[in-house]
């Protein structure tokens, strides 16, 4: 991805002339919790109460969904968010979706994905899973997938604004800050650096 500069300002740069679009591009960090926690609770109720799943298969499928999310997160970040088009309109779209975050990483209003984007994406993945997964595994796997997304979104905010005492979280924050301030062509994992290790896109801690 092309890099011009990194601003240390916490202010939000204006992206749209239209006031409505500008408001939709900004979101407080807690909004994904309000939107997706009820979905996660409903899916848990549907699996355990309505479909009468036993605990072991339920937990197993949820873990599979979490694992699928970590791979999806890596692929989206590396190959979609960091794809830099040559056309002017493509560069504009790139800036709106991810470039603004790299230019203004301290902008707290653009650290979590706004529902105007996350809800349609979640629906798209649900129907994709519905088309390829057996009915018995669809809901718990999607529950794990959505839970993984929520951990990613809130965790991403925390990596930029929280100070950690946990050695694991400190390493995770270092990994993400190196992606921003050292080499944006590496270190694409946010909630985990597992796939960076697999695909050799880790950043040298030196």
DSSP 52-73: ---HHHHHHHHHHHHHHHHHHH
Rounded Cα gap, residues 44 and 62, in angstroms: 10
Token couple for 198: 């697999």
Q: Per residue in 39-56, pLDDT tens?
A: 999 999 999 999 999 999
Report phi then psi at 164, rounded to 5.
-105, 150
Q: Which residues contact 1 (CB under 8 A, 6 or more apart)?
A: 82, 83, 84, 94, 98, 99, 102, 184, 185
The mean pLDDT value for 57-80 works out to 96
The backbone region for 52, taken as left when phi is positive above 0, alpha when psi lies in -120 to 50, beta otherwise, is: left
User: If we measure between CA atoms, which residue out of 2, 8, 204 comes closest to residue 104?
Assistant: 8
Rounded Cα gap, residues 60 and 55, in angstroms: 8
Exposed, middle or buried by CB within 10 Å (0-12, 13-18, 19+), for 68?
middle
The mean pLDDT value for 32-43 works out to 96
Rounded Cα gap, residues 32 and 36, in angstroms: 6
Tell whether pTM > 0.85. Answer: yes
pLDDT, residue 125, reads: 97
Rounded Cα gap, residues 163 and 115, in angstroms: 27
Of 8-17, 25-34, 41-50, 82-91, the poorest mean pLDDT is in 8-17
pLDDT, residue 1, reads: 45
Token couple for 58: 């339920």
pLDDT at 139 over 90: yes
In 10 A of CB 32, how many CB atoms? 22
The mean pLDDT value for 146-161 works out to 94
C-alpha angle 125/128/133, rounded to 5°?
A: 115
């Amino acid at each position: 991805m092309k890099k011009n500069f990194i601003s240390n300002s916490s202010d939000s740069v204006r992206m749209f002339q239209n006031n409505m679009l500008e408001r939709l591009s900004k979101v407080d960090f807690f909004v994904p919790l309000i939107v997706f926690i009820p979905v996660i609770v409903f899916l848990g109720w549907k699996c355990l109460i309505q479909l009468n799943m036993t605990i072991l298969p339920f937990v197993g499928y949820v873990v599979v969904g979490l694992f699928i999310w970590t791979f999806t997160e890596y692929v989206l970040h590396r190959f979609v968010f960091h794809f830099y088009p040559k056309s002017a309109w493509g560069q504009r779209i790139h800036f709106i979706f991810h470039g603004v975050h790299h230019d203004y990483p301290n902008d707290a209003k653009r650290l979590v994905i706004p529902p105007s984007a996350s809800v349609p994406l979640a629906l798209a993945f649900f129907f994709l899973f519905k088309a390829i997964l057996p009915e018995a595994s669809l809901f718990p796997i999607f529950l794990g997938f959505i839970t993984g997304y929520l951990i990613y979104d809130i965790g991403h905010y925390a990596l930029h604004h929280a100070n950690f005492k946990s050695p694991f979280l400190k390493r995770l924050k270092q990994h993400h800050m190196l992606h921003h301030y050292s080499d944006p062509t590496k270190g694409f994992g946010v909630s985990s650096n597992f796939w960076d290790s697999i695909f050799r896109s880790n950043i040298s801690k030196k």
